[in-house]
Amino acid sequence: MAKKNTVPTNKKHDDLAYNKETGTGELMTTDQGLKINDDNNSLKAGERGATLLEDFILREKITHFDHERIPERIVHARGSGAHGVFQVYESMAKYTKAGFLQDPSVQTPVFVRFSTVAGFRGSTDLARDVRGFSVKFYTEEGNYDLVGNNMPVFFIQDAIKFPDLIHAVKPEPHNEIPQAASAHDTFWDFISLTPESMHMIMWAMSDRAIPRSLRMMEGFGIHTFRFINAQGKSCFVKFHWKPLLGMHAVAWDEAQKISGKNSDFHRQDLWEAIESGAFPEWEFGVQIVPEEDEHKYPFDLLDPTKLIPEELVPVMRIGKMTLNRNPDNFFAETEQVAFHPGHLVPGIDFTNDPLLQGRLFSYTDTQLSRLGSPNFHEIPINRSVNPVHNNQRDGHMRQQINVGKSSYHPNSTGDGFPKQATIAEGGFSTYEERVDARKIRARSKSFMDFFGQATLFFNSQSEPEQNHIVDALRFELGKVQTPAIRERMVGLLTQVDHTLALKVAEGLGIPVPKPQEPLNHSYGADANPADYQNIPQKQSIDKSPALSMANTPKDSIKTRQIAILVADGVDAASLKAMKAALTTAGAQCKLIAPHGGFIKDNKGADNPVDMSFLTAASVIFDAVYVPAGEKGLMGNADAIHFINESYRHCKAIATDETGLLDETYVGAKFKKGGGAAAGIITGKNKSKEFIQAIAQHRFWEREKNDKVPA
C-alpha cells in the first residue's frame, strides 16, 4: 500500500513553499517567535524618557532593517556631495562650549551630502521626496555630524516605526514598482493609518519636495538637541541651514520632464556651480529654548513631528557654510562617507526624542553592514582631524598600525595610556538629566496632536503653494488603487482643512466623508485606545510666514541659467548687451539654436552654440530671452514649444521683437486682448526689467488662468 502523501497538493513540487509567510490572520512575533504586544513604541524610561538599550524588540527590528540592502544605502542611496568650510560669526560660549562655535577666525572643514530618501542609486534627482542634508564637521575636538533633511519634521514619532515607514514607501515587494515614488498603495495605506504623519505629509506634498537646486533649499536638524556651556548649563536647540540664494522649487510638470531630460539635474547643478566658482552658501541658524520653557508651547519639544514656529522663537544666524570643492572621487568620498547623529563634540548633547534615540543605535549598525567593517572611521573621508587613540583593535580592513602591547584599560604596561580625559581636558561628559520613571512602552499625551501644525503649515502657504499641495495629493492618491485608502486619506485631510479635503476629493471623484476621529495605532494591543486619541491643540499663531517659500529672498539672479534662443542673423548688439547685463548680475547664459556649432550674427561674426534644440529643454533653464533678429527662429516648432513650455512653468520671458512671440500661445493670447502677462518683458533695452523678473523666480499666478498646451 502506498504511503499517504501528507503534503498539500499545491505545495508538492515546491520545496520553497514551506517558507512562504503571508502574515494573514496571524499574531506578530519577533524573529524568535515571541508574540509582540506593542510594535509602535520603543521601551523608554517613562513616556518622555530615554529609549533603553534593553529594548530587544527595537534592536532586532532595526538591526534587520539596517541589513536589508548590500551594499547600497537602504535610504538616502541617491546622493551628491561637496567639501567646504564653516565659520562662526561670533562666540557662542554663552550657550555651548563646542569648540567650532567659539572663534570667528577659525574655519572648520566640512563635507556635505545631499540625497533623496526613497530611490535607489540610479533613480532621478527630481523625484517628489524628502532631501537629506547632512553635514560632517571636522573639528579639533573630533567629528561632529549634523544629520538632517530639508524639512524640519518627520513622518513618525518613534524610531520603532522607521522600518515600517520605509517598507511602505519603497517599491512594492511583489513587483518592485514604483521606483523613487510614494504614489502607490502601500505608502498611503501606512499614512492613512498613521495620523501622526499628517504634518510631514503637508511638507512632502508641498514645493519643498521638488527643489530647483540643492543650493536653494533649507536644511534642518529635525530633532531638539541640547547646547551645554562651560558652566554646565543646558538649553534646548533646533538647528537650521538657510540658503543665501533663497528657496526655490520647480513645477511638478517640470520635475517630471526634467527627470526624462536629465535625471542628474541636481547633481550636475551642484557640481557645475562649484566648478565655476559660484560657491553655494548657507547660514547656520539656531533656535534657543531655555530649559525652564520646555513646556511653554502647545506642542512637545521632544516630538519630531513638530517644529517651533520662527515667530515664537526666532532663528539666530550664527555662522556660514560655504561649499567650495567638489570630491575628487565620487565613490571614495560621497558614497563612503558615513554619518551618525551620535558623532558629537563637547557642548552638544541629545534629548529624549524617541526618534533620535533609535537613530543613535541604527546608524552605527547600518554602517557596519554597508561598509563591511567596524573600521569605517578609517576611510579617508570619515577620518577625524583629531588623532584617534583608544583600545579598539583589529577587524576587517584595519588600517591603523598600533604598536606596543597594551590594548586595554586600565594598564601599567603602557604607562596607563591612552588615559581618560578630564572635562577640563576636553573629555565628553553626558548632560546629567534626572530620570525617575517606570519602564514603559507608551507615548506621552503631549505627542497626540496630529493636525494642529499640519493646519498651521497649510494656512501659511500662498494660494499657488496651496494649489500645488492639492495637485500633489490628487496625483499621489490618484495612483492609489484601493478605494478605502483614498477614502481614509481624504478623511484625515478633513482634520487638516476642510476646503483642502474638498478639492482633493473632487479631483479623485469621491465624496468627502464627515470629519471623524482618525484611527490611531500608536498604542499596544492591550492599551486603552481612548488614552491615545488625537488631542487637538490650539496653536499660538494661525500663520507662520517663514513656512512659505513665497516669502524667500528674491533679490538676486546669481547662478540662474538663462536660455538665449538664437539663429543665423541674430542682432549682434542686442545679444551682446543682454548677455553682458545678465552675466554681470551673476547669471549664466547659454545660446540655444536650431543646430550645434556656430551661428552667424548680423555682423557676420561666428557665435558658439552651447546647445541645440535637440539637446536643450526649457525645463533646465530659469528664464528665456529672444534677442532682435529673430527671423531665423520664426516658424521653428522647437523654438515655439520652448517659449510655450517656459510660459506654462511660469518663468520670465523677454524678447526684443514680438514676431516669434506672436506665434506662441503667449502671443496669441495678447492678440485676443489678453493683455500683458506677469513676467513677460517685450521691447529693446529691457535688461533691468528682465533681471528683476528673473529674481522673482516664478510667476505662479499664471498657473490658475493659463493651461498652456505645451
Residue 622 pLDDT level (bands cut at 50, 70, 90): very high
Q: What pLDDT band is residue 9 in, cutting at 50, 70 and 90?
A: very low
Find, among 681, 670, 680, 687, the residue nearest to 650 by Cα: 680
CA gap 626, 569 in Å, rounded: 13
Neighbours of 672 (CB within 10 A): 8
End-to-end Cα spacing for the chain: 76
Three-class DSSP category at 524: coil
User: What pLDDT was estimated at residue 350?
Assistant: 94
Where does the pLDDT of residue 650 fall: very low under 50, low under 70, confident under 90, or very high at 90 and above?
Answer: very high
Q: What cell was used for 383? A: 577620518
Q: Is residue 535 within 8 Å of residue 448, measured between CB atoms? A: yes
Average pLDDT of span 17-36 = 68
**pLDDT surpassing 80 at residue 536:** no
Residue 197 CB partners (closer than 8 Å, separation 6+): 155, 156, 190, 191, 305
Contacts of 381-384 with CB under 8 Å at 24 or more apart are 381/111, 381/332, 381/333, 381/336, 381/337, 382/136, 382/143, 382/336, 382/337, 382/338, 384/138, 384/142, 384/143
Of residues 73 and 236, more confidently modeled: 236
What is the mean predicted confidence (pLDDT) over 191-196? 95
Tell me, yes or no, if 229 is annotated catalytic. Answer: no
Q: What is the pLDDT of residue 671?
A: 58
- Across-strand partners of 479? none
Residue reference for cell 530618501: 117
Residue 161: closest CA among 258, 44, 38, 77: 38
Question: Using CA atoms, how far apart are residues 86 and 91, in angstroms rounded to an integer?
Answer: 14
Lowest mean pLDDT among 195-199, 523-527, 537-541: 523-527
Averaged pLDDT for residues 504-531 = 74
Is 366 exposed, middle or buried (CB count within 10 Å of its CB: 0-12, 13-18, 19+)?
buried
3-state secondary structure of 141: coil
Contacts of 361 by beta carbon, 8 Å cutoff, 6+ apart: 58, 59, 62, 159
* Position 426, amino acid: G
Q: How far is the C-alpha of 416 from the C-alpha of 434, rounded, in Å?
A: 33
**How far, in Å, are 213, 495, 683 from residue 621 at the CA level?**
12, 39, 22
In the predicted model, what is the mean pLDDT of residues 480-500? 95
Q: Is 76 a catalytic residue?
A: yes
CB within 8 Å of 232: residues ≥ 6 apart: none
265-285 tens-digit pLDDT: 999 999 999 999 999 999 999
Using DSSP's 3-state secondary structure scheme, residue 171 falls into coil
Would the pLDDT of 523 be above 90?
no
What percent of the chain is modeled with pLDDT above 70?
92
Q: Which of 40, 41, 143, 149 is catalytic?
A: 149
Predicted local distance difference test score (pLDDT) of residue 389: 87
**Residues pairing with 112 in the sheet:** 82, 135
| pLDDT (mean) for 152-162 | 96
Of the listed ranges 130-139, 240-249, 334-343, 523-532, the least confidently predicted one is 523-532
Does the pLDDT at position 185 exceed 70?
yes
The answer to whether residue 628 scores a pLDDT higher than 90 is yes
pLDDT in tens, 406-458: 888 888 888 888 888 888 888 888 888 888 889 999 899 999 999 999 999 99
Highest mean pLDDT among 135-149, 361-375, 669-683: 135-149
Q: How many Cβ atoms sit within 10 Å of the Cβ of residue 100?
A: 25
Percent helix / strand / coil, the chain, rounded to 5? 30, 15, 50
pLDDT, average across residues 606-628 = 97
Question: Which is it for the CA torsion 565, 570, 573, 576, positive or negative?
Answer: positive
Question: Which stretch of 67-76, 335-344, 359-368, 591-600 has the lowest confidence by average pLDDT?
Answer: 67-76
Count of C-beta atoms within a 10 Å radius of residue 122: 11
135-149, 277-291, 501-515, 658-672: which has the minimum mean pLDDT?
658-672
Look up residue 589 and give its three cell numbers: 547664459
The catalytic position among 76, 343, 649, 697 is 76
Write the DSSP string, 298-353. SS-TT-TT----TTTSPPEEEEEEEEEE--S-TIIIIIT----TT---TTEE----
pLDDT at 703: 86
Longest dimension (CA), the chain: 103
The mean pLDDT of 72-84, rounded to a whole number, is 87
pLDDT of residue 13: 40
> Residues 31, 37, 39, 41: is their CA dihedral positive or negative?
negative
* Residue from 665, 653, 656 nearest 696 by CA: 653
Higher-pLDDT residue of 520 and 577 is: 577
- The answer on pLDDT for 532 being more than 90 is no
pLDDT of residue 15: 43
β-pair type (281-290, 234-243): antiparallel
Question: Which is more confidently placed, 625 or 404?
Answer: 625
Higher pLDDT, 521 or 362: 362
Banded pLDDT at 675 (limits 50, 70, 90): low
Residue located via cell numbers 550636475: 268
Whole-number mean pLDDT of the chain?
A: 90
Summarised one tens digit per residue, pLDDT across range 360-402 is 989 888 888 888 888 888 899 999 988 888 888 888 888 888 8
d(CA 3, CA 709): 73
